[in-house]
Amino acid sequence: MGKNRNQLVVAVMCICVFIVVIKYGVRETEAEEYFKPFNVTYDHRALILDGKRRFLISAGIHYPRATPEMWPDLIAKSKEGGADVIETYVFWNGHEPERGQYNFEGRYDLVKFVKLAASHGLYFFLRIGPYACAEWNFGGFPVWLRDIPGIEFRTNNEPFKEEMKRFVSKVVNLMREEKLFSWQGGPIILLQIENEYGNIESSYGKGGKEYVQWAASMAISLGAGVPWVMCRQQDAPYDIIDTCNAYYCDGFKPNSPNKPRMWTENWDGWYTQWGGRLPHRPVEDLAFAVARFFQRGGSFQNYYMYFGGTNFGRTAGGPLQITSYDYDAPIDEYGLLREPKWSHLKHLHAALKLCEPSLVATDSPTYIKLGPKQEAHVYEAYVQNEGLNLSLFESPRICSAFLANIDERKETTVTFRGQRYTIPPWSVSVLPDCRNTVFNTAKVTAQTSVKLIESDMPTVSSILPAQQLRHHNGIYYISNSWMTVKEPLNVWSKNNFTVEGIWEHLNVTKDQSDYLWYSTRIYVSDSDILFWEENDVHPKLTIDGVRDILHVFVNGQLIGDVVGHWIKVVQTLQFSPGYNDLTLLTQTVGLQNYGAFLEKDGAGIRGTIKITGFANGEIDLSKSLWTYQVGLWGEFLKFSSEENKNSEWVELTPDAIPSTFTWYKTYFDVPGGMDPVALDLRSMGKGQAWVNGHHIGRYWTRVSPNSGCQEVCDYRGAYNSDKCSTNCGKPTQTLYHVPRSWLKATTNLLIILEETGGNPFGISVKLHSSIIICAQVSESNYPSLQKLNSDLIGEEVSANNMIPELHLHCQEGQTISFITFASFGTPGGSCQNFSRGNCHAPTSLSVVSQACQGKRSCSIKISDTIFGGDPCPGVVKTLSVEARCTSPLNDGLFQEAVSSF
């Protein structure tokens, strides 16, 4: 392509971006006047903001899964990544922990979160629900809701509708009072009522259909002044937009030709349960799904999740959701960019924004079949010259095209408008001017970041010097001085009560604790002992159903554990002559968050409970007298708080035998700097942890299956949550995020409740950091989309801007300390395993080092002239680079830590 053509192409793209900025941008204002007030409506094509159609990228961030101190950075990274909108659920049980007592502070300061998004110039999508699912405890419902007389959740039930309307009204009124709706100059452009109700509606029969109609009319009656949606709701009423939640939504059509195609949940990963493998969705497939959605008429797409975060405290749902809610999202659990996912999607979003003028001007695309599994969708329209310089166009025409190859195996070359295009399998090429490809979903040029989370970072202890804490294998343990106290394994307080029969777990605990004790007394006669000896049998405890965990104790000794979701229990017992105390401890690991009839699901013990094998037959314990105790002694005494001054703590000796239900505490220091902090609890069993009184969540070293992980992750073909799984045969989670804002430089109090027996001396602190970064770009790749944005307007366009570039960047607070590999030519391998090929420019390392070393970010053009000439004429050359990022503050420590990585 000649220089003039290059100038024309780039100029066209710049004008397209200029149109987006001028016509659809928001003005920056002071104080809280975030936007000029505007109305939001919609037609069959898209949401209409201030009279203009918009095609929007939304980033899902759940505010309670991060700290307020993290919010500004998460929102800024979302905007930098190309998001127009921030999306979140509203979590009823967090905002109304007790009926009529509201909490909108700290991690639940929803108003602050919405205003932060607005201050960054982003719109807001508020999914009130109020049922959330979200792998959140009880799906977001407060447990006290179960106790409302006559209540049935999510159906045509007056008590439920009254409570639901009261809370939804509370949220809408709060947003209105804070002037956060678009027509008030706020960012909220979209609301949601209910959530994926269509999946379970049939379970409620006629009541379900009536409930959908009521929920819609109730929402509209609140006068929020912006559109409402219902996701996965094919019978959504005419004034509610039904939307899609799935891995792919390009084939989705709403239930009315007057509604736009909207994708409220694009699952860019998946959740994880204790004992499960870790899911991974390749970015090539994720980008393919997004491009296909907009290619086939989509208008609004939300990443679920863009940042997943952490289930702090006891907020994780059930059954058995882990504390991490990382979700393989573009921003990881700690707030760091996941590369190449974040940058590759950023490039896609930039390409889509170049197409937006064509998309908004076109009612529907023109479909062209290019091959058996290849197709094009063309968005072409004629526009009036609105004062813009359109002299570079042959006519006042704007045109964008998407070329798709949905073949899962074969690369294909197609002809489109007289030109040939080669498209990789399972990919989409984006042509903002219907001629030049600027992005292909399968061609990843973004850097890969390798996070150093398995190598330990040194800490400094206030108890002993760091070098004295260092173990022989290089691990820096958190402390070698621990205090301990044993939890009594039975009913422990005067607050217990005795009743006849088995009471349902949640009816007793009200979810104020995971734990509920049941205790009864069994008399064993001499004839029973003789019967067992003569017949070589043992008595057995039988329970119809148990969830999530059951511990069985006889006379204070643990004799069995059961984990499951309403599973039958048969446990052999060992009794002594005379009276024996049979104690059961049921335990929840997150309340059920999905499904119909949540209020009836409950926890603990269900059905009959009996002991078989006695001389006189079985003993039915279902109607026996049982003594109940909610929670643990250490919870009652608030061991997790710094205020607790319990004198029963004693020093733990290193040779102590690990025991069940034991409390541990110590004080620890953390390294300085900005790197996120995690506790490595792989030496423990199962329990909960607190740092400086903050509950960082449940932990468990439950191991995933040995099978089911793929050696090679192939992005091609439809994705599901079992595809590309990792971490087989290892504990599901070992690292637990401790936000920096919860930490002090020294003497941080760590409290551990260990349930199954673990070694606290093995706990260590780790810094979560992207140490190794790699990138690989060839001459055949497309020019950098970073050049095709509004910053280019006013500059002289040249062919130089069409040269591909390699970009590297370290996380905030770090710089590129050294280049470990660089080769321009025909290098082989991949990140952490690069090798030189037969063709190699001798200046590769020096050129890259000079351009990048000592900087946070750098870019290098993929050009022969940069590297002193063509090392192998006639060959398509590639630049491969591997570099190390370090923090100046911890540079010496990092050098030591990564020396053997």
What are the residue numbers of the active site? 196, 265
Q: Classify 512 as helix, strand or coil.
A: coil
Q: Which burial class, exposed, middle or buried, applies to 865 when counting CB atoms under 10 A from its CB (0-12, 13-18, 19+)? A: exposed
Rounded Cα–Cα distance for residues 115 and 109 (Å): 10
**How is residue 513 written in tokens?**
């604790």
The DSSP code sequence of 789-807 is SGGGTTSPP-GGGGS-EEE
Nearest to 689 by CA among 729, 649, 742, 732: 742
Residue whose structure tokens are 């409402």: 228
- List Cβ neighbours of 456 (8 Å cut-off, separation of 6 or more): 474, 475, 476, 680, 764, 765, 766, 897
CA 146, 150, 152, 156 torsion-angle sign = negative
Side chain identity at residue 424, one-letter code: P
Is residue 366 within 8 Å of 359, Cβ to Cβ? no
Q: Give, for 210, the enclosing helix (H) or strand (E).
A: helix 205-221
User: How far is Cα 479 from Cα 765, in angstroms, rounded to an integer?
Assistant: 10
Q: What is the dihedral angle through the alpha carbons of 170, 171, 177, 179, rounded to the nearest 10 degrees? A: -160
Distance, in Å, from the CA atom of 751 to the CA atom of 761, rounded to the nearest integer, reads 13
Sign of the Cα pseudo-torsion (722, 727, 732, 733, in order): negative
Integer Cα distance of 268 and 746 in angstroms: 38
Q: How far apart are CA 792 and CA 18, in angstroms?
A: 10
Angle of helix 3-24 versus helix 341-361 axis, rounded to 10:
80
Give the span between the Cα atoms of 305 and 221, in whole angstroms: 30
Instruction: Say if residues 446 and 343 touch (Cβ distance below 8 Å).
Output: yes
Backbone phi and psi for residue 211, each to the nearest 5 degrees, phi listed first = -65, -40
Is the separation of the CB atoms in 861 and 734 below 8 Å? no
CB 822 within 8 A of CB 849: yes
Closest CA to 595 of 157, 135, 274: 135
Triad 334, 339, 342: Cα angle to 5°: 85
Q: Which residue has the tokens 């710094």?
A: 642
Task: Give the separation between CA 722 and CA 720, rounded to whole angstroms.
Answer: 6
Number of residues assigned to the chain: 901
Question: Can you point out the beta strands (E) in 113-167?
Answer: 123-129
Task: Kindly state the tokens that stand for 343.
Answer: 């940058």
Listed residue (172, 188, 185) closest to 222, CA to CA: 172
Q: Which two tokens stand for residue 842?
A: 């001798």
3-state helix, strand, coil in the chain (%, to 5): 25, 30, 45
Both tokens assigned to 757 = 């027996």
Residues 6 or more apart in contact with residue 22 via CB below 8 angstroms: none
Structure tokens that stand for 575 in this block: 């009794």
- Rounded Cα–Cα distance for residues 239 and 224 (Å): 13
Cα first-last separation, the chain: 45
Specify the amino acid at residue 579. Answer: Y
Non-local CB neighbours of 124 within 8 Å, separated by 6+ positions: 85, 86, 87, 114, 117, 118, 180, 186, 187, 188, 189, 190
Of 716, 685, 709, 160, the C-alpha closest to 409 is 716
